[in-house]
Structure formats: C-alpha cells, structure tokens
Amino acid sequence: MGVRTRIATLAALALAGSVLVAGQADAGNQHSSLKPLATGLNGPRGVSTYGHKVIYSVTDGSVYVTDGRKSVKLGTVPGTGGFPPAIDTNKWGTTYALTGAGGEPGQPPVPGSATLYRMRYGKAPVKIADIAAYQAHDPDPYNQADSPTESNPFGVAALSDGTVLVSDAANNDLLRVWPNGHVKTVARLKPRTVKVPAGLGDEAPPAGTPFVAEAVATSVTVGSDGYWYVGELRGFPATPGTSEIWRIRPGSVGAVCDPVKPNRGNCQRYADGYTSIVDLAGGPHGTLAVVELDKASWLKFEMSGPTHGGLFLQYPGKNHRAGYKRELVKDQLTLPGGAGFNRWGELFVSGPVFGPGAVYKVRY
C-alpha cells in the first residue's frame, strides 16, 4: 500500500491548512453526543485512561494528562514527523508512546521514528524498542507493495504483565515488546482480494476488478475477555466494507490471520464490514469501540477531502464472533484519531487527527 507514503500525504494536506472540526448533532442522533474534555489541540490522536484521568497525544509528539479542567504535560517524544504518536497506559499508570515512520518517503527516517517509548510524569521518555530495526530482519512474507521490511508502527496496547503490543501498518503484523526491548512477532495479517470500487479515476483499474489489497494493521486492543484484537485499514484500493477485526489468542507467536481461512488457528476473524479502521478500544461486557478515519475510505478522503469519520460500538455475538454494531455520534466526527474507555465504561474520542481538534467524552 505504501502506508508511509499515504501518511506523509495526509500530513501534507493538514499542513496545507485544512481546518477540520467536529460537526453538530443532528435531530436523528439524540442518543449519543459529544462533550468537549480538552480543546484547542493540534492534531489530537492517541487516547488512553488511568482512573478518572484521560491521556492524549498531539502532533508535535507531546502527551498530556487531563482531568477535564486542566491538562498537564507528561512529556514529548521525538520522531513524530508531523503525525501524532499512538499511546496506551497500563494498570500502573505508565504510558507508552509509539511513533510511526516519520520523514519523507525515500529519505532517511527521522531520528526517534518507528520507536516505542515509556513515559512517566517528571521523567524524560525512555526508549524501549526500535520497531523499524526489528522489522528490517522480519520481512512481510505477504508483501504486495514497497519493501517487505518497511515499518510504520501505528497501534499500541499495554498488557497487564508489563509487555506491550504493537501493530505495524506497513509490515502488516502484530508484535509483542518486552520491557528490555526484546520483540517477538505475534501474528501476520495476510492480504485480501477485494473489488476495485467506482470513482477512483482513469489511472485505477476498472470498477469491479479483483485486486489483492494489503491488510494494513493499524490498531490493537485487549478485549474484556483477555483476547487481543487487531483492526485493519485496508490498502489500495481501500474498498469500503472490507476492513476486518481479528481476534488473537493471548501468548500467540507466529499466528496467521487469513481472510481465506478466517476461522482457523490462533488468529480468527471476529468482525467484518468496516472501512478504514484506525483505532480500537476494549470496553465493558465484550464491547469494542471501533474508529474509522473516514466512512468513505481513506483513499476517497485523500482524493476529494473528508466526509465523516465513524465511531461504532461493536457488541459480542456467539461463538467468539461479533454481534451487532451501533454507530455513535453519527456524522459528528471528522477524521477521528483514537478512542479509549475508562474502568467505568465511559468512552472518549479524539479528532480531527490533522488540524485544530479536541478530546471528547462520548455520551451514549
């Protein structure tokens, strides 16, 4: 897919001056609403919680903690390259920040990019692992575009044993990182054959043409059942409705997430039918919050500007499969970046991920 290229393009659009804000509630969407928690932010993305406090990240790599009245800076990580880091906070209050593939495509990476950091209040961020260095020796065997060793770490989830999960949107895999920097590959996501959607222009294959599209593992979370869940963006041609959520057995090593055989092994398909997933959050009673960057797809956004982002509650079904899903704050979000639940089941969301934005509490 060239995810590093895509993110660089999206960042360039943001720098060009697009002003993106949350929309207003409509009359048919009165059962969920947004309450601003922290405003005046530049590109808010990552969202995590610790007790009653909400932690969030912004474009320059800074991470803040807010109680809804004031925000306190936790620290700043290097290497963001104009795209805010992903974050998660463990049960002891330690926050992890993950930078992506910073820098222009084809140029040397920005120092500190593609790196996992540990953050504690009053202390400088500590580098835990260079994800790009690991992926240089862990090529994607199912690669369809660019280098099979390309890395763009995009999603992070802190586990209760002190290890951290990292989803890589260029290497299309899920990694587990230990406190000493040791890394193992948990699972690899295979590409999926989709049909090219209409409206992509003359340079794209004709609409309906089968096309092998990469998984693009953007997001990871831990469900209330203890399983690990990974969400996909879907690579070019970004066909709407083809982004999957995978359910991975904890402790797995070398699992394969295969859309042709989705119900076998330690990685099995949990849900399907989403579009351009950029974040997941595990909630109470088996629910997942699912964040879509743009419901028309990331490619349609890149071609013609944003429509509306999506925030869904995915409820569990039977036999380890998803049940029904419910859209929250419909058409009230533009380019949302991330979401997180606190221990009481309260849900928070950030956006737009480019330009002026805020972190909101979602009433649902």
Residue 150's CATH number: 2.120.10.30
Q: CA angle 86-362-158, nearest 5°?
A: 30
Q: Is the dihedral of CA 331, 53, 278, 115 positive or negative?
A: positive
Number of folded domains in the chain?
A: 1
* CA atoms of 21 and 152, how far apart (whole Å): 27
Spatial contact of 266 and 255, defined as CB atoms under 8 Å apart: yes
* CA atoms of 98 and 114, how far apart (whole Å): 7
CA 186 to the chain's CA centroid: 17
Count of all residues that appear for the chain in the document: 364
Spatial contact of 163 and 156, defined as CB atoms under 8 Å apart: no
| pLDDT of 42 | 97
Spatial contact of 316 and 286, defined as CB atoms under 8 Å apart: yes
* CA atoms of 228 and 322, how far apart (whole Å): 14
* CA atoms of 294 and 172, how far apart (whole Å): 20
Strand partners for 326: 313
* CA atoms of 296 and 127, how far apart (whole Å): 37
| pLDDT of 16 | 33
| pLDDT of 30 | 55
Per-residue pLDDT tens digits of the chain, which is 364 residues long: 444 444 444 433 333 333 333 433 333 455 899 999 999 999 999 999 999 999 999 999 999 999 999 999 999 999 998 899 999 999 999 999 999 998 776 778 889 999 999 999 889 999 999 999 999 999 999 999 889 999 999 999 999 999 999 999 999 999 999 999 999 999 999 999 999 999 998 888 999 999 999 999 999 999 999 999 999 999 999 999 999 999 999 999 999 999 999 999 999 999 999 999 999 999 999 999 999 999 999 999 999 999 999 999 999 999 899 999 999 999 999 999 999 999 999 999 999 999 999 999 999 9
Domain that holds residue 78: 3-363
pTM recorded for the entire structure? 0.93
Residue 83: other Cβ atoms inside 10 A:
25
* CA atoms of 284 and 324, how far apart (whole Å): 15
* Residue of 186, 248, 241, 242 whose CA lies nearest to 214: 242
Spatial contact of 361 and 347, defined as CB atoms under 8 Å apart: yes
Q: CA angle 76-311-287, nearest 5°?
A: 95
Our CA dihedral for 200, 205, 207, 210, rounded to 10 degrees, sits at: -130
